[in-house]
């Protein structure tokens, strides 16, 4: 009976001005949590939904996290200070004022200083994670406010409510962990979904009885070789390739399910490697008839741990071949020293035991000329590594029945792969765009291309990442190599700049010609303002993704 008599009082208190303002404050905290969550989700997507990569990002961005914690903590502290006497009209306004300050502080501190190079993509997986995260967050909020009708009438003299107020800013920061938690919760569903898509892709591949699948992998050169091979094979065959850098398991699966048609005769499948088992998983899906291994090097040492692991995983693309051909870049020591009993076809630039040898190579600003097994070729592409990649593509195309003389014109028409030594004319300046996924061999090859140009040569780079314990050493070596290849060096990011700058100074590069900037835009702004009577040749070597 007493409960029924007290219910109207409870209802009135729950919707009093004080409580309405308090609800507004909680709503603002939830909005701030959403802002933190979306930022964390963006980084989690870039980190391939791996918790290890996300925690590394947290460690590298601890300053950002601390700054963002100030807004909810300061606002809540202000609220608590005045919560002892909220009956006065002036003090009641503390809640909406502190809430607005919280939202404003979060928007200012939480925003990214630069525009995202690759924004968060709301894939079905991300949408499912967002729904799960919202449920977890609301459950925590509900747990904090359980039985609110019995609690709010005692407001503000209520220790339980005071505890909740202290808990709220922690819940806001907890939103940073929600993507990882949601990923764990959703793991069984995602595994079932992925298995369904993979099985569908296998079914499609199996239904194309006459389809020839060519697998391509390598620490570097695989994407360029894929593009070149696609152009050369298209002279005779209806060919499909995985687009851009769709070289993960699900990227390959998506290509098969969306793009592979009954009329396709050849499917060129690029296979990327970041974690143990990646190559084998893709090989099990596409069952390549032939394979190409472009290179092996210290790429992704951070996740693969050892060079031995990288060699073993890359050679999965050769080990899976039954009665087809394995095309190997025999300029690469790791490849030469790994024995295999497969039907191998060797290609490269260095004299030796090669089935397809590029020789008589001449490189200029206008392009490159070379010969392969007596047939002369010309290309507008720059760099010795491009000759190496084209030679690999020529070897595959020739072995699959296209005459060497019929490949001369397609080679001449080859276009640069976007962001891989792509020449861009910007007014009177020339930009060599080599921004995609720099690696030690490719980076040094790009420097050699820059060195061949006449003019004011400028290197703009943040260096290389994901090289594990060798990262400092390899970036330092890159800096040393740059000393006689350029006239200015613009480094992006103070932390990444350190080893490159050390290498430059050890090579006696003038310190006044080394500039360090926080962002690429700041660096380029400086470059464009350099006063020079000579033409500026600007090499953009690597551009780190948003999670670095």
Interval 174-228: pLDDT, tens: 889 999 999 999 999 999 999 999 999 999 999 998 999 999 999 888 989 999 9
CB 349 within 8 A of CB 383: no
User: What is the spatial distance between Cα 160 and Cα 170, in angstroms, rounded to a whole number?
Assistant: 16
pTM here is 0.75
Q: For the chain, what is the mean pLDDT?
A: 82
User: What is the spatial distance between Cα 470 and Cα 437, in angstroms, rounded to a whole number?
Assistant: 17
DSSP per residue over 192-252, as a string? Answer: HHHHHHHHHHHHHHHH-TTPEEEEEE-SSSHHHHHHHHHHHHTTTS-EEE--TT--SHHHH
Strand partners, 270: 216
Region 452-464: mean pLDDT is 89
User: What is the spatial distance between Cα 323 and Cα 289, in angstroms, rounded to a whole number?
Assistant: 7
Region 400-404: mean pLDDT is 96
Q: Which of 38, 27, 274 is nearest to 168 (CA)?
A: 27
User: So what's the pLDDT on residue 103?
Assistant: 62
Region 281-307: mean pLDDT is 87
- The pLDDT confidence band at residue 1, using thresholds 50, 70 and 90, is very low
User: So what's the pLDDT on residue 150?
Assistant: 35
Among 351-355, 382-386, 405-409, 462-466, which range has the highest average pLDDT? 405-409
Region 436-456: mean pLDDT is 83
- The pLDDT confidence band at residue 15, using thresholds 50, 70 and 90, is low
- Cβ–Cβ contacts within 10 Å for residue 501, how many? 21
- The pLDDT confidence band at residue 75, using thresholds 50, 70 and 90, is low
From the candidate CATH numbers 3.90.190.20, 3.40.50.150, 3.40.50.720, 1.20.120.1200, the one assigned to the domain spanning 422-541:
3.90.190.20
Within 374-501, strands assigned E span: 375-379, 422-426, 429-434, 456-461, 488-492
User: What is the spatial distance between Cα 315 and Cα 293, in angstroms, rounded to a whole number?
Assistant: 8
Q: Which residue has the higher pLDDT, 37 or 438?
A: 37
CA dihedral 476, 478, 483, 487 (to 10 degrees): -120
CB 367 within 8 A of CB 379: yes
Distance of CA 298 to the CA centre of its chain: 17
User: What is the spatial distance between Cα 166 and Cα 76, in angstroms, rounded to a whole number?
Assistant: 7
CA dihedral 376, 377, 382, 385 (to 10 degrees): -80
Q: Which of 78, 81, 119, 122 is nearest to 102 (CA)?
A: 78
Region 297-312: mean pLDDT is 81
Give percent of the chain above pLDDT 70: 80
- The pLDDT confidence band at residue 417, using thresholds 50, 70 and 90, is confident
Give percent of the chain above pLDDT 90: 43
* Burial class (CB within 10 angstroms; exposed 0-12, middle 13-18, buried 19+) of 188: exposed
Helix/strand/coil for 292:
strand
Region 254-268: mean pLDDT is 95
User: So what's the pLDDT on residue 303?
Assistant: 73
354's tokens? 């090669």
* Burial class (CB within 10 angstroms; exposed 0-12, middle 13-18, buried 19+) of 488: buried
382's tokens? 């720059």
Query: In what helix (H) or strand (E) does residue 299 lie, and over which residues does it extend?
Result: none
User: What is the spatial distance between Cα 247 and Cα 278, in angstroms, rounded to a whole number?
Assistant: 10
Please state the domain extents for the chain: 2-186, 208-412, 422-541
Q: Whose structure tokens read 């502080």?
A: 105
Q: Which residue has the higher pLDDT, 118 or 156?
A: 118
User: So what's the pLDDT on residue 154?
Assistant: 36
* Burial class (CB within 10 angstroms; exposed 0-12, middle 13-18, buried 19+) of 258: exposed
- The pLDDT confidence band at residue 31, using thresholds 50, 70 and 90, is confident
User: So what's the pLDDT on residue 235?
Assistant: 94
- The pLDDT confidence band at residue 246, using thresholds 50, 70 and 90, is confident
Region 272-297: mean pLDDT is 91
User: So what's the pLDDT on residue 148?
Assistant: 47
* Burial class (CB within 10 angstroms; exposed 0-12, middle 13-18, buried 19+) of 311: middle
522's tokens? 């700041």
- The pLDDT confidence band at residue 91, using thresholds 50, 70 and 90, is low
User: So what's the pLDDT on residue 429?
Assistant: 86
Tell whether the model's pLDDT for residue 336 goes beyond 60. Answer: yes
- The pLDDT confidence band at residue 62, using thresholds 50, 70 and 90, is confident
Q: Which residue has the higher pLDDT, 289 or 352?
A: 289
Among 33-42, 85-94, 156-165, 432-441, which range has the highest average pLDDT? 33-42
Beta strands 325-329 and 343-348, pairing class: parallel
Tell whether the model's pLDDT for residue 548 goes beyond 70. Answer: no
CATH of domain 208-412: 3.40.1190.10
Region 60-81: mean pLDDT is 70
359's tokens? 């020789």
306's tokens? 């050892």
């Amino acid at each position: 009976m007493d409960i029924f008599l007290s219910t109207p009082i409870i209802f009135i208190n729950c919707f009093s001005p004080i409580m309405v303002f308090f609800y507004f404050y909680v709503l603002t905290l939830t909005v701030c949590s959403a802002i933190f969550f979306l930022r964390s989700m963006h980084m989690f997507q870039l980190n391939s939904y791996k918790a290890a990569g996300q925690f590394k990002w947290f460690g590298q961005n601890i300053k950002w996290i601390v700054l963002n914690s100030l807004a909810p903590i300061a606002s809540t502290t202000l609220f608590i200070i005045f919560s002892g006497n909220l009956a006065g009209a002036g003090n009641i306004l503390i809640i909406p004022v502190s809430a607005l300050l919280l939202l404003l502080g979060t928007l200012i501190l939480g925003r990214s200083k630069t525009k995202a190079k690759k924004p968060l993509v709301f894939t079905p997986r991300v949408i499912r994670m967002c729904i799960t995260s919202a449920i977890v967050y609301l459950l925590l909020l509900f747990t904090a406010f359980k039985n609110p009708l019995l609690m709010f009438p005692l407001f503000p003299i209520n220790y339980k409510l005071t505890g909740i107020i202290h808990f709220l800013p922690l819940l806001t920061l907890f939103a940073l962990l929600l993507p990882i938690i949601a990923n764990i919760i959703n793991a069984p569903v995602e595994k079932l979904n992925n298995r369904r898509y993979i099985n569908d892709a296998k079914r499609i591949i199996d239904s194309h009885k006459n389809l020839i699948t060519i697998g391509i992998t390598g620490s570097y050169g695989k994407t360029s070789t894929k593009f070149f091979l696609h152009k050369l094979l298209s002279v005779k065959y209806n060919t499909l390739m995985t687009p851009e850098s769709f070289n993960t398991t699900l990227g390959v699966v998506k290509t098969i399910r969306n793009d592979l048609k009954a009329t396709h005769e050849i499917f060129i499948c690029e296979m990327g490697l970041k974690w143990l088992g990646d190559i084998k998983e893709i090989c099990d899906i596409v069952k390549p008839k032939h394979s190409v291994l472009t290179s092996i090097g210290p790429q992704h040492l951070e996740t693969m741990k050892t060079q031995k692991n990288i060699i073993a995983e890359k050679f999965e693309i050769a080990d899976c071949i039954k009665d087809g051909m394995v095309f190997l870049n025999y300029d690469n020591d790791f490849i030469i020293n790994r024995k295999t009993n497969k039907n191998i076809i060797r290609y490269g630039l260095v004299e030796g035991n090669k089935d397809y040898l590029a020789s008589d190579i001449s490189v200029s600003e206008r392009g490159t000329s070379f010969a392969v097994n007596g047939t002369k070729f010309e290309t507008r592409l720059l760099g010795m590594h491009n000759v190496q990649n084209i030679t690999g593509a020529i070897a595959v195309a020739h072995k699959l029945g296209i005459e060497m003389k019929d490949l001369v014109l397609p080679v001449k028409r080859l276009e640069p792969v976007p962001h891989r030594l792509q020449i861009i004319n910007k007014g009177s300046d020339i930009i060599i765009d080599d921004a995609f996924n720099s690696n030690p061999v490719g980076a040094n090859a790009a420097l050699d291309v820059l060195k061949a140009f006449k003019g004011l040569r400028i290197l703009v780079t943040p260096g290389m990442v994901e090289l594990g314990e060798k990262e400092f050493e390899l970036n330092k070596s890159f800096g040393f190599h740059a000393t006689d290849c350029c006239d200015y060096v613009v480094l992006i990011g103070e932390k990444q700049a350190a080893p490159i700058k050390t290498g430059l100074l050890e090579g006696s590069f003038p310190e006044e010609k080394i500039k360090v900037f926080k962002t690429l835009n700041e660096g380029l702004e400086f470059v464009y303002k350099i006063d020079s009577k000579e033409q500026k040749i600007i090499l953009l070597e690597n551009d780190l993704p948003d999670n670095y």
